[in-house]
Amino acid sequence: MKFVLDPSIQTKIRRMKARVRWRESPLQALNIDQTRLHLDLNLDITDDAAIAASSEGNAAPHPFSFLALGDSGSRSYYNDNPQRRVAEAMVAQSKGCRFVLHTGDVVYLVGSREQYPKNFIEPYREFLLGGESPRSIAYDAMCFRLPFLPVLGNHDYYDLPVIFGFLLQLVAPLRRLLRNQINLDIGWHGSFQGDAYARAFLDYLAALNDKQLHKHLQKNYTAIFNQHRCLRYQPGTFTRLPNRYYQFRQEGIDFFALDSNTFNAPLPLAADEHGKQHRRELVAQREENLLLKQALLQESLSLDGQNRIQASRLADHYAKLEQIEEQLRDIDKQLNDALSANVTDQEQLNWLIQGLIDSWRDEAARGRVLYFHHPPYVTETSKWAQGQTLAIRHRLRQVFDQVSSAVLERVEARSLVDLVICGHAHCFEYLQTGETGHGDRQIHWLVCGGSGFSLRRQRLEGPDLCEPNGAGEQKVVATSKLFIGRAGHGSQMQRPYSFARIEVAGTAQFPIYNIHPQVVERIDHRWVETSLAPITINTSIPGGGVELSA
């Protein structure tokens, strides 16, 4: 039996469209753009100078800051909660910030509504209206003091097999192993194909009748951009997102939030001898992972979750088991030819292509930032070789190649986008692509996936990421310049959890991004917060003018 169920891409798209009543006639009649968000600024969350600037207009850009995190959604375990420690550090860093970006996997393990109180509302209570009494906040009625702008992670879509959820609630030994022993957050069910996330964060229009819908649209879709009405995000009053993917602008920077879960299906295996060999290798990897999974589960049964030393070993086993399950799902998708047969969310990718082209042609837009869950470039131990990593990279390259062809005369020496922020890999990492031969050349990539769930190590092969060059050789396409994740062993184990504060400054033409990695780590029985030296990206200099301080 599969441990979790991942809905098909077609199901994810269809269900999410129904929840926001995608392009139904009442929204079309009002000329509403369901992918555009307008952020109303609030005096409580930013400075007077920033309030004076128009986030959508042509005024001279003011410096602003935002926070970025991801893969955070774990509960307390063994009398501690790394996610809560990260949230506390975020509160201290949030002064002057305009908003928070979340790269997905908001709650674990299967995105269930049951997990939101412990795994999200309580840890981030300072960011929520009424957060002084977090138990009184319903997961589908959250209102944020500071704009909290997430995207969907794979766990936010996961479900449980019905029989598994039933057995888990009734069979004591299974509950002991999977809940008390290795702290899996499991209830009766899962996300209901992303429904819990949609009710928590999206403007869930499916819950309204026609009369309620008309009133709601007239009240909340009052912002105007490019002659379209769009959703107004009002901190402390109304804090909903228009869709599973969307865009907004701050001080001339266009932010594009994507749902990478619907264009990450592994590419079909080739029918030639190389493809057949790869299939054999995948089958062997699958068998090896199944044996390792069985051994870890067996050993976990003999460990006491109430003993701190053994509890640490259980936590490590949990991390390895979750990683193995992820690898098995990825292998199964690659081996399933029917599942891999060019299934992708082309509607979303076309939207991104047109959005980037429009942004480059808009004199008021001076920069572009993308954020989504699955990283195309990463050196975390299990991700680079996964089928979905290759698929994301392949499909984004197709997007960037088309955009590059359309706006090449405007781009000159700059990269097509200034910064891409992802999650999924449980670490913090900064990488830069080189001459890839595609439109993703010289792009800066930030992985923010180490904000609370089990951390992962860097792969042993080193910081350079290589691809075949077509002549039987490997070429370097990207290089990791900073990696923060699990390291060491035994009593020397290091678990540095992380997020980032990003400051945006620069001129009306060329933004400068100062990325400040923030680390929260338990050292000698106490939690220590550290702000690392910043990474500076200057878009006025070819290649980004990166400055990575020691």
Express each pLDDT in 102-120 by its tens digit: 999 999 888 999 999 999 9
Q: Which of 181, 76, 152 is nearest to 119 (CA)?
A: 76
- Decide the pairing of beta strands 526-531 and 511-523: antiparallel
- Cβ contacts of residue 274 below 8 Å, gap of 6+? none
Contact between 121 and 16 under an 8 Å Cβ cutoff? The reply is: no
Q: Which of 147, 126, 150 is nearest to 236 (CA)?
A: 147
Domain final residue pick, 335, 360, 381: 335
**Residue 194 within a domain:** no
Give whole-number Cα distances, 326 to 103, 165, 176, 283, 289, in Å: 18, 19, 22, 15, 10
What ranges in 176-307 are assigned the alpha helix state H?
A: 195-201, 210-220, 273-301
- Measured between alpha carbons, how far is 511 from 64 in angstroms, rounded to an integer? 11
Q: What's the pLDDT at 180?
A: 43
Mean pLDDT of the chain: 88
**Residue 201 within a domain:** no
Output b/e per residue, 344-369; b: 16+ Cβ within 10 A: bbeebbebbbebbbebbeeeeebbbb
Domain final residue pick, 284, 301, 335: 335
Q: Report the 10 Å Cβ neighbour count for 311.
A: 19
Q: What's the pLDDT at 492?
A: 86
Structural domains of the chain, count: 2
* 303: confidence class by pLDDT, cuts 50, 70, 90: confident
* 167: confidence class by pLDDT, cuts 50, 70, 90: very low
Query: Percent of the chain at pLDDT above 70?
Result: 87
Residue pointed to by tokens 């400075």: 47
Kindly state whether residues 462 and 381 are assigned to the same domain: yes
Domain final residue pick, 309, 335, 361: 335
Q: Which of 256, 324, 321, 337 is nearest to 287 (CA)?
A: 324
- Measured between alpha carbons, how far is 62 from 250 in angstroms, rounded to an integer? 9
Q: Is the pLDDT of residue 173 over 60?
A: no
Q: What's the pLDDT at 185?
A: 57
Contact between 523 and 532 under an 8 Å Cβ cutoff? The reply is: no
* pTM of the model as a whole: 0.91
Contact between 544 and 512 under an 8 Å Cβ cutoff? The reply is: no
Q: What's the pLDDT at 216?
A: 98
**Residue 236 within a domain:** yes
What ranges in 135-209 are assigned the alpha helix state H?
A: 162-170, 172-175, 195-201
Kindly state whether residues 30 and 122 are assigned to the same domain: yes
Kindly state whether residues 435 and 489 are assigned to the same domain: yes
Q: What's the pLDDT at 334?
A: 85
Kindly state whether residues 403 and 523 are assigned to the same domain: yes
C-alpha 81, offset from chain centre = 20
- Measured between alpha carbons, how far is 314 from 179 in angstroms, rounded to an integer? 11
**Residue 203 within a domain:** no
More confident residue, 65 or 343: 65
Tokens of 210: 């026609």
- Measured between alpha carbons, how far is 114 from 121 in angstroms, rounded to an integer? 11
Kindly state whether residues 492 and 537 are assigned to the same domain: yes
β-bridge partners, 475: 467
Q: Any idea what the CATH number is for the domain that residue 371 is in?
A: 3.60.21.10
Q: What's the pLDDT at 171?
A: 45
Kindly state whether residues 375 and 402 are assigned to the same domain: yes
Q: Is the pLDDT of residue 384 over 60?
A: yes
Q: Which of 256, 203, 231, 67 is nearest to 146 (CA)?
A: 67
**Residue 450 within a domain:** yes
Per DSSP, the residues of 346-367 read: HHHHHHHHHHHHHHHH-TT--E
Q: What's the pLDDT at 305?
A: 67
More confident residue, 154 or 319: 154
Question: Which range of residues forms the domain containing residue 374?
Answer: 20-157+222-260+346-548
Kindly state whether residues 84 and 129 are assigned to the same domain: yes
- Cβ contacts of residue 64 below 8 Å, gap of 6+? 46, 50, 97, 98, 250, 251, 503, 504
Q: What's the pLDDT at 429?
A: 98
Q: What's the pLDDT at 336?
A: 83
Q: What is the largest CA-CA distance in the chain?
A: 66
Q: What's the pLDDT at 495?
A: 92
**Residue 11 within a domain:** no
Q: Is the pLDDT of residue 239 over 50?
A: yes
**Residue 195 within a domain:** no
Kindly state whether residues 381 and 304 are assigned to the same domain: no
- Cβ contacts of residue 251 below 8 Å, gap of 6+? 53, 55, 61, 62, 63, 64, 504
pLDDT tens digit string along 250-276?
A: 999 999 999 999 999 998 888 888 888
β-bridge partners, 528: 521
Kindly state whether residues 308 and 444 are assigned to the same domain: no
pLDDT tens digit string along 23-78?
A: 999 999 999 999 999 999 754 444 444 444 444 444 568 999 999 999 998 866 66
Kindly state whether residues 105 and 232 are assigned to the same domain: yes
- Decide the pairing of beta strands 419-422 and 464-468: unpaired
Q: What's the pLDDT at 252?
A: 97
Q: What's the pLDDT at 338?
A: 54
Kindly state whether residues 251 and 298 are assigned to the same domain: no
Kindly state whether residues 368 and 304 are assigned to the same domain: no
**Residue 10 within a domain:** no
The residue-averaged pLDDT of 282-309 equals 83
Is residue 295 packed enough to be buried (19+ CB in 10 Å), middle (13-18) or exposed (0-12)?
Answer: exposed
